[in-house]
Homo-oligomer: A and B are copies of this chain.
Amino acid sequence: MGRQELAYPKQPYSTVKRYDLLASYELSTIHTIISTSPMVNVSFIDPSSPFPTILPMIGALGSFSRPSADITDVQDLYLHGYISSRLVNQSRSPSQPEGLPVCVSASHVDGLVLSLTPYSHNYNYRSATLFGHAALVTDPDEKLFAMRLITDSVVPGRWAGSRTPPDAGEVASTGVLKVKIAAGSAKVRVGGPTDGKADLADEALRERVWTGVVPVYTVYGEPVASEYNGVERLPGYIAEYVADVNEETRRQAVEAATKEVPKKVVDDDDD
């Protein structure tokens, strides 16, 4: 790399408090976890409800003012899903001129980490959290930009591969939120199990309890054509994407299972 990695500022609400060796504030790490998750979790506060809310939505990172920005750069997060009237009203509230404060998260489980004792069981995982302010996108050009980003986040090339551009009615009735990101963090756990010294020294225990990692990954299966599909052969951009995802998710899970556990984490686990 020819330049310094960008990182989000550590804020009191965004700082990972434990296992600090696993924490990352780098944009590229956080953005990659968010971008490779088909759905993200969006939490916001509705003053009329006694509970916070989590909505599953589709999230896509991009920059309308600087479309060449990539995953290592400052970007906005565009969210698509069912935008409830309470979400809209709140993101427009004059009491929150910056927009509605939201927390957006995504987690990938890469493996079940089975150790000698339940206490030290764990997951291999990658999780990312972003904090920011959400507002409805109203500019039609920006909305179109976001709709393309979101569609291509489901299958790259799908925008060009389907009936586009959407008509004015479709654009008007599509709700897109834009999150200006204030801070973010990621946590990543890799490696095999760890156990305390006493358990490790107990040979009978080690011969009785299987220890290791069950890799966990997402698979994209054989595409199923719709009843009204009129295309005989699955287009290459879909077939290639399915193959790429399957190779990458499996590689990530198996690599995580066989990587060394960072030293600092072993010590923490041993507490």
Judge if A45 is at the interface, Cβ distance under 8 Å.
yes
Which residues of B have CB within 8 Å of A220? 112, 214-216
The answer to whether A39 and B107 touch (CB under 8 A), given A12-B49, A163-B199, A222-B215, is yes
The answer to whether A51 and B101 touch (CB under 8 A), given A154-B121, A158-B114, is yes
Question: Min CB distance, A44 to chain B, in Å?
Answer: 6
Q: Contact check, A214 vs B207: say whether CB atoms are below 8 A apart.
A: no
Q: Contact check, A250 vs B224: say whether CB atoms are below 8 A apart.
A: no
Residue interface bits A195-215, CB-to-B below 8 A is 1, else 0? 100011011011111111111
Closest to A11 in B: B49
The answer to whether A164 and B117 touch (CB under 8 A), given A215-B221, A217-B221, A250-B221, is yes
Complex formed: what's the CA distance from A228 to B109 in Å? 23
Q: Contact check, A193 vs B53: say whether CB atoms are below 8 A apart.
A: no
The answer to whether A13 and B51 touch (CB under 8 A), given A39-B107, A112-B154, is yes
Q: Contact check, A54 vs B105: say whether CB atoms are below 8 A apart.
A: yes
Per the 8 Å Cβ criterion, residues 243-264 of A in contact with B are 250, 253-254, 257-258
Which residues of B have CB within 8 Å of A45? 45, 52
Judge if A242 is at the interface, Cβ distance under 8 Å.
yes
Per the 8 Å Cβ criterion, residues 151-166 of A in contact with B are 151, 154-155, 158-159, 161-164, 166
The 5 closest A-B pairs by CB, nearest first: A215-B221, A13-B49, A206-B230, A43-B43, A54-B105
